[in-house]
Structure 1
Amino acid sequence: MNKDQGKRGWVKDCFTRRIFRVMICIVVLCFSIGYFWSTSNHTWQHTPVKTFSTMSPNTQDPDDFHNINLPTNRTYLLENLLEIELPRMIYAKPQVLKPPRNDVLMMTPWFAPIVWEGTYNLEILNEQFKQRNVTVGLIIFAIKKYVVFLKNLLETAETYFMVGYKVNYYIFTDRPQEVPKVELKEGRNVVVLQIQNYSRWQEIVLRRMEMIHNFSQKQFINEVDYLVSVDIDMRFNDQVGVEILSDLFGTLHPGFYGSERQSFTYERRPASQAYVPHDEGDFYYAAAFFGGTVKEVYKLTKKCHEAIMVDKDNGIEAIWQEESHLNKYFIYHKPTKILSPEYVWDDNMGKPQILRKRRFLAVPKNHAAIRNK
Structure 2
Amino acid sequence: MCEGFKQVNNTSRIIQRIRSILKLLLFFPIAWCIMFYTAPSVRFLIGLIPMDECPLENVKMLALGNSADTDLNLWSRSDVQTCTTWNAPIIWEGMFNPSHYDQIHRSRGSSVALTVFAVGRYLDAYLEAFLKSSERHFMLSLPVIYYVFTDTPEKVPNIKLAPNRKMKVIRVEKHTRWQDISMLRMKSISDIIESDIRHHSTHVFCFDVDQVFTGRFGPEALGDTVALLHAYYYHLPKRLFTYDSNPKSKAFMKTGDFYYHAAVFGGSWKNVKALTEACYKSIMEDKENNVEALWHDESHLNKYFWLHKPSRILSPEYCWDTNIGYRADIRVQRLLWAPKNYDELRTL
- Tell me if both proteins adopt one fold, taking TM over 0.5 as the criterion: yes
> Is the 2:317–2:334 Cα contact (8 Å) retained in structure 1?
yes
Cα separation, 1, equivalents of 2:286 and 2:299? 12
How large is the Cα RMSD of the aligned pairs?
A: 1.9
Does residue 1:337 correspond to 2:332, yes or no? no
Q: Which of 161, 165, 184 is equivalent to 2:161?
A: 184
Which residue pairs with 1:124 in the alignment?
A: 100
Which residue pairs with 1:325 in the alignment?
A: 300
What amino acid is aligned across from residue 310 of structure 1 in structure 2? E
What amino acid is aligned across from residue 163 of structure 1 in structure 2? L
Does residue 1:174 correspond to 2:163, yes or no? no
Structure 1 runs (4+) greater than 3 angstroms displaced: none
Q: Which of 115, 119, 123 is equivalent to 1:139?
A: 115
Does residue 1:215 correspond to 2:219, yes or no? no
Cα separation, 1, equivalents of 2:328 and 2:169? 39
Structure 1 stretches of 5 or more lacking a match?
1-83, 87-93
Does residue 1:195 correspond to 2:152, yes or no? no
Q: Offset of 1:99 from its aligned partner?
A: 2.0
What amino acid is aligned across from residue 170 of structure 1 in structure 2? Y
Which residue pairs with 2:41 in the alignment?
A: none
Helix, strand or coil at the partner of 1:286: coil
Does residue 1:230 correspond to 2:207, yes or no? yes
Helix, strand or coil at the partner of 1:140: strand
Measured against aligned partners, the alpha-carbon deviations of 1:193-230 in whole angstroms (never above 9, x if no partner) come to 11111000011111011111111112111111100001
Mapping 1:235-246, distance limit 5 Å: 235-246=212-223
Cα separation, 2, equivalents of 1:300 and 1:311? 17
The alpha-carbon distance between structure 1 residues 140 and 85, as it changes in their structure 2 partners (threshold 3 A), is closer
Which residue pairs with 1:26 in the alignment?
A: none
Cα separation, 2, equivalents of 1:101 and 1:254? 18
Measured against aligned partners, the alpha-carbon deviations of 1:65-85 in whole angstroms (never above 9, x if no partner) come to xxxxxxxxxxxxxxxxxxx99
Which residue pairs with 1:80 in the alignment?
A: none
The alpha-carbon distance between structure 1 residues 259 and 133, as it changes in their structure 2 partners (threshold 3 A), is same
Cα separation, 2, equivalents of 1:368 and 1:163? 35
Q: Which of 224, 230, 250 is equivalent to 1:253?
A: 230
Measured against aligned partners, the alpha-carbon deviations of 1:173-203 in whole angstroms (never above 9, x if no partner) come to 0010100011110010111011111000011
Mapping 1:220-369, distance limit 5 Å: 220-277=197-254, 280-369=255-344
Cα separation, 2, equivalents of 1:229 and 1:285? 14
Measured against aligned partners, the alpha-carbon deviations of 1:322-360 in whole angstroms (never above 9, x if no partner) come to 000000000010000000000111111112010000111
Q: Which of 127, 137, 141 is equivalent to 1:164?
A: 141
Cα separation, 2, equivalents of 1:365 and 1:281? 29
What amino acid is aligned across from residue 129 of structure 1 in structure 2? H
Cα separation, 1, equivalents of 2:209 and 2:103? 30
What amino acid is aligned across from residue 121 of structure 1 in structure 2? N
Does residue 1:106 correspond to 2:82, yes or no? yes
> Is the 2:319–2:336 Cα contact (8 Å) retained in structure 1?
yes
Give the aligned length.
Answer: 281
Cα separation, 1, equivalents of 2:72 and 2:278? 41
The alpha-carbon distance between structure 1 residues 208 and 258, as it changes in their structure 2 partners (threshold 3 A), is same
> Is the 2:144–2:166 Cα contact (8 Å) retained in structure 1?
yes
Tell me which structure has the larger Cα radius of gyration.
Answer: 1
What amino acid is aligned across from residue 347 of structure 1 in structure 2? T
Cα separation, 2, equivalents of 1:127 and 1:233? 31
Cα separation, 2, equivalents of 1:161 and 1:95? 21
Structure 2 stretches of 5 or more lacking a match?
1-65
> Is the 2:72–2:96 Cα contact (8 Å) retained in structure 1?
no
Q: Offset of 1:365 from its aligned partner?
A: 2.4
Which range is displaced more, 318-327 or 217-226? 217-226
Which range is displaced more, 352-361 or 121-130? 121-130
Which residue pairs with 1:56 in the alignment?
A: none
Q: Which of 95, 115, 137 is equivalent to 2:91?
A: 115
The alpha-carbon distance between structure 1 residues 250 and 95, as it changes in their structure 2 partners (threshold 3 A), is closer
Measured against aligned partners, the alpha-carbon deviations of 1:11-61 in whole angstroms (never above 9, x if no partner) come to xxxxxxxxxxxxxxxxxxxxxxxxxxxxxxxxxxxxxxxxxxxxxxxxxxx
